[in-house]
């Protein structure tokens, strides 16, 4: 009876959260744009190669970051006099390849691509190269081809490190800078780990950064991945699906946490997954908030639904990757190529796509806890305070 009551309470919480914008904790991956998309890289005036068509291929509109990325790239390029064909592929690989074929046929002079599957574009890119079309991999590396000219992204390994540090901090094991605390609790703490889509090159970087950081705490017994599911293949969630994450968490709760074992934290690499995980946890009566015993759950992207959850003391943290700066960087690189110049890279070692090391520009990332929302997200005009309160942009 008691257990049924707890489940019902969990469902009630989940439902009331759903009323704020979608299904489950903080809603499904919501759309929307940040309060200000900024003038990403726009230099104003007439740029070299002005008037040229640029194809911008984004993976999906189910996660708001890609909507923000697409809009920011498009508006900055248009401001500088370029024509832009912006397309979203609904997370469907054939749709993305068809969109790229169409962009090339239309006469695009440059392609900016955030791929769905980083290995699925080889023939499109061969075609592009044969026509002298430059290709910029946007946020996600394109693998297995010589025909990718540049990569603009955030420091993906650093994202994973930051997520693991946020988990350790949330468990009271380290301070905010990742330094072990002398008065830290001994544990052991049970945790579970999740990874992103196996066909997205970033997913492994996030996972490796996270696991390398957690490793010493696992080795000395402070942290225990109780399910025993520790390899990338066991914990990856195809297409970054929120429902897939909820399902896996529900399975873990049933397989591993019904005999009284307590779950203390979950390493989650993306806000959408985090909301699925939180829905599963609340569904068995955990929480509903951190101060009521909800396990520490990390995230990424500062999606508005998750920022609200952080503000409400439900999700512990997210990693903020300011899409305005990535868009600005991609536009800068695009304009350099279109003017016949070589864009500046700040990493020429890390991103080997299996055929070559792709020159890369890496941007830094910021961890956001509840107390950072004002400075990082509101003062920077990424969101308004009202959007944070509502959980909808
Ligand atoms: C991006 C993340 C995002 C994820 C899911 C990754 O490639 O780097 O920012 O959370 O895709 O959309």
Q: Which of 321, 325, 277, 279 is nearest to 300 (CA)?
A: 321
Tell me the domains of the chain and their CATH numbers: 12-155+322-364 (3.40.50.2300), 156-320 (3.40.50.2300)
Q: How confident is the model at residue 369 (pLDDT cuts 50, 70, 90)?
A: very high
How far, in Å, CA of 206 to CA of 84, rounded? Answer: 31
Percent above pLDDT 90 for the chain:
84
State residue 188 phi and psi, 5-degree precision.
-70, 145
User: What pLDDT sits at residue 341?
Assistant: 96
Q: Which token pair is 276?
A: 């699925």
**Can you give the pLDDT at residue 370?**
98
Q: What is the pLDDT of residues 84-138, one digit of tens each?
A: 999 999 999 999 999 999 999 999 999 999 999 999 999 999 999 999 999 999 9
Pair 96, 86: CB distance under 8 Å: no
Pick the atom of ligand 1 nearest to 200's CA.
7
Q: Which of helix, strand or coil describes residue 125?
A: helix
Query: How many CB atoms neighbour CB 2 within 10 A?
Result: 7
- Tell me which residues have their CB closer than 6 angstroms to ligand 1: 63, 65, 139-140, 196, 200, 202, 240, 270, 300-301, 321
**Cα 113 to ligand 1 centroid, rounded to whole Å:** 13
pLDDT, position 324: 95
For the four alpha carbons of 67, 378, 177 and 280, in that order, the dihedral sign comes to: negative
User: What's the pLDDT score for residue 26?
Assistant: 60
Token output for 214: 């957690």
pLDDT digits (tens, 9 = 90+) for 226-245: 999 999 999 999 999 999 99
Is beta strand 150-154 parallel, antiparallel or unpaired with respect to 134-138?
parallel
Q: Is the N-terminal amide bond of 288 cis, ω within 30° of 0? A: yes
Cβ atoms of 163 and 157 closer than 8 Å: no
Atom of ligand 1 nearest to the CA of 140: 7
CA 389 remoteness from chain centre: 22
| pLDDT at residue 19 greater than cutoff 60 | no
Residue 47 pLDDT grade (very low, low, confident, very high; cuts 50, 70, 90): low
Q: Compute the residue count for the chain.
A: 393
- Find the angle CA(358)-CA(366)-CA(195) to the nearest 5 degrees: 65
Task: Give 48-111 as a DSSP string.
Answer: TTTT-EEEEEES-SSSHHHHHHHHHHHHHHHHTT-EEEEEE-TT-HHHHHHHHHHHHHHT-SEE
CA of 6 to the centre of ligand 1 (A): 34
């Amino acid at each position: 009876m008691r257990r049924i009551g707890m489940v019902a309470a969990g469902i009630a919480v989940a439902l009331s959260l759903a009323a704020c914008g979608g299904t489950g904790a903080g809603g499904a991956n919501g759309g929307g744009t940040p309060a200000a998309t900024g003038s990403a890289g726009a230099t104003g005036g007439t740029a070299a190669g002005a008037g040229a068509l640029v194809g911008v291929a984004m993976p999906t509109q189910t996660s708001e970051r890609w909507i923000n990325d697409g809009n920011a790239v498009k508006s900055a390029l248009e401001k500088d006099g370029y024509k832009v064909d912006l397309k979203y592929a609904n997370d469907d690989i054939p749709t993305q390849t068809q969109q790229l074929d169409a962009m090339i046929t239309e006469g695009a002079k440059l392609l900016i691509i955030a791929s769905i599957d980083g290995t699925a574009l080889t023939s499109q890119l061969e075609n592009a190269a044969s026509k002298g079309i430059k290709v910029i991999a946007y946020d996600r590396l394109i693998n297995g081809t010589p025909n990718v000219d540049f990569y603009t992204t955030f420091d993906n390994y650093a994202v994973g490190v930051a997520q693991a540090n946020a988990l350790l901090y949330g468990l009271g094991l380290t301070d905010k800078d990742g330094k072990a605390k002398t008065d830290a609790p001994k544990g052991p703490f049970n945790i579970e780990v999740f990874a992103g889509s196996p066909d997205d090159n970033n997913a492994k970087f996030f996972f490796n950064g996270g696991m390398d950081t957690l490793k010493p705490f696992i080795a000395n017994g402070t942290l225990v991945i109780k399910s025993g599911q520790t390899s990338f293949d066991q914990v990856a969630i195809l297409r970054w699906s929120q429902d897939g994450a909820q399902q896996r968490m529900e399975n873990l709760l049933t397989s591993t946490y019904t005999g009284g074992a307590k779950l203390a934290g979950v390493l989650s690499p993306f806000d959408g997954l985090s909301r699925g995980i939180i829905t599963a946890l609340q569904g068995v009566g955990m929480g509903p908030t951190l101060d009521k015993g909800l396990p520490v759950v990390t995230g990424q992207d500062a999606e508005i639904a998750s920022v609200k959850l952080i503000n409400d003391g439900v999700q512990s943290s997210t990693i903020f990757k300011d899409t305005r700066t990535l868009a600005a960087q991609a536009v800068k690189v695009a304009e350099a190529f279109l003017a016949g110049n070589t864009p500046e890279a700040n990493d020429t070692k890390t991103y080997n796509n299996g055929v070559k090391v792709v020159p890369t520009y890496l941007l830094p990332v910021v961890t956001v806890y509840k107390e950072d929302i004002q400075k990082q997200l509101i003062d920077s005009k990424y969101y308004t305070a009202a959007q944070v309160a509502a959980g909808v942009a």
